[in-house]
Structure 1
Amino acid sequence: MPNRPGVDSPESRPSSRQPFDERLTANIRAAFFEELAEVGYGRLSVESIVRRASTSKAAVYRRWPSKDAMALALIAEVAVHGVNLPETGALRSNLRQFLSSTVDAVRHPLARRIIPAIMAESQHNPQLAALLRDAVEGPRRGVAAEMLRRAIERGELPADCDVDQSLDFMIGPLYWRVVVRGVDLDPAGIERLTDGLLAAVTAMRMPGNIPGPERDI
């Protein structure tokens, strides 16, 4: 039976010196995310990915040594795409870029199915939880933190701005609206969220530095 396009055969398998077939890699990548969305991380298997991609286990294992390694590489690849946004010189426009980029990443129907499944699985899978921290949360949080630090240096945010809490707030409302509730954000909605986020991070101060009501002595 002839091999279908993109399927590894003994004649087409690359030697250690040959580059991978990028079309086949793309097929495996697509199969991974489709399977992840359909069955969840816990039930995801290399065998099911192989069937969906119409390839062989050898083709998968030449690229990634295990399911976890594949997940780490592919989720990280998607998560960091578009994370390095250009500096605009103003906090509001930087925040709007960040929100727009994040909305673009999570509004895809496949992403809406994958993200909740991964988050749920990570609650009782320490290895997956560590993967998400290292491959997803770390890079995106680092870029956003640097954005806020530059705003502090420019005087747009107070020197005692609570950067860590601000980072949580930057993604929380967007995640709840788009991923949990399934409500899309149009450009006007992103503008309103940007204004709300700007007001919130400006008011977030480190504990002990928040002005309180004056007291009579």
Structure 2
Amino acid sequence: MLVRMTTNADEPQTRPRRRTPAGAAVLREDVTEAIRAAVFEELAAVGYARMSIEGIARRAGVGKTAVYRRWRSKLHLVLDVVSAIAVMGLPTPDTGSLEGDLCLLYEVTSRALRHPVASQIIPDLQAEAARNPEIAEAMQKTLREGQEGVASKIIVAAAQRGEISGHLDEDLALDLISGPLYWRSVVIRSPKLPKGYLAALARATAEALKAL
């Protein structure tokens, strides 16, 4: 007689296998990543308010139970995905000069912010953040630990090279670095940056930091 056993939380097996150690069920990482990718796509397609666990599961090609094994609700799922962005962060430029580091940072950030999916998701989550303190906290964490975490390293490196003061107001410096591009790309959503804009922004920001 065929004995049917389940050794994986997401995929039933038809042959008996060695017993899994007691504790939490083993969750397949490829299924988890498929669900996370589906969240981004679903957010871009319908927005947070209309997003549902059913829609996410359907887009990921899994059952609803696979989603609920990992997250209690769509809020917890979105908070996890948003927080994961902060952990990933951006690469820290190392060009040898403040202006060069800023220019590279702006190029990478601009591409990320202007990505079709990101450009739809970020404004929608910002609107939800105004109504949901948990999303607001996660968004703030994402922005500060992502863009501003890299910007802090640029400031430290520039101070070590003697390009800027080692005693400048770091919060003001971070505002100068992160504010203009975010305003242009996310708030007013300029359809296209003028030619040479990022290089000019890097040059102006570097001079402003040196004057602090």
Partner in structure 1 of residue 42 of structure 2? 35
The percent identity for this pair of structures is 40
Partner in structure 2 of residue 100 of structure 1? 107
Provide the C-alpha distance between the structure 2 equivalents of 1:101 and 1:73, rounded to a whole number of angstroms.
23
Q: Give unpaired runs (5+ residues) of structure 1.
A: 1-7, 206-217
Partner in structure 2 of residue 210 of structure 1? none
Say whether the 8 Å CA contact 1:31–1:52 is kept in structure 2.
yes
Partner in structure 2 of residue 192 of structure 1? 200
Partner in structure 2 of residue 212 of structure 1? none
Structure 1, residues 43-64: CA drift from partner, whole Å, max 9, x if none?
3322221233232122112333
Say whether the 8 Å CA contact 1:32–1:49 is kept in structure 2.
yes
The amino acid across from 1:141 in the alignment is E
Partner in structure 2 of residue 67 of structure 1? 74
TM-score, structure 1 as length reference: 0.75
TM-score, structure 2 as length reference: 0.77
Say whether the 8 Å CA contact 1:75–1:136 is kept in structure 2.
no
Provide the C-alpha distance between the structure 2 equivalents of 1:57 and 1:19, rounded to a whole number of angstroms.
14
Picking from 20, 32, 35, the partner of 1:25 is 32
Structure 1, residues 137-168: CA drift from partner, whole Å, max 9, x if none?
23432221122122123221123422212212
Instruction: Tell me the number of residue pairs that the alignment of Structure 1 and Structure 2 aligns.
Output: 194
Distance change >3 Å, CA 99–CA 90, structure 1 → 2 = same
Say whether the 8 Å CA contact 1:177–1:183 is kept in structure 2.
no
Picking from 46, 61, 66, the partner of 1:54 is 61
Residue 99 of structure 1 deviates from its aligned partner by 0.9
1:2-21 equivalences under 5 Å are 10-11=12-13, 18=26, 20-21=28-29
Partner in structure 2 of residue 201 of structure 1? 209
Provide the C-alpha distance between the structure 2 equivalents of 1:187 and 1:156, rounded to a whole number of angstroms.
27
Q: 1:45 and 2:52 equivalent?
A: yes
Structure 1, residues 144-200: CA drift from partner, whole Å, max 9, x if none?
112212212322112342221221222222122223333334773221121122122
Residue 114 of structure 1 deviates from its aligned partner by 0.8
Distance change >3 Å, CA 202–CA 183, structure 1 → 2 = farther
Provide the C-alpha distance between the structure 1 equivalents of 2:61 and 2:131, rounded to a whole number of angstroms.
31
Distance change >3 Å, CA 136–CA 66, structure 1 → 2 = farther
Say whether the 8 Å CA contact 1:80–1:136 is kept in structure 2.
no
Q: 1:126 and 2:133 equivalent?
A: yes
Select between 101-110 and 144-153 the one with higher mean Cα deviation: 144-153
Provide the C-alpha distance between the structure 1 equivalents of 2:190 and 2:13, rounded to a whole number of angstroms.
47
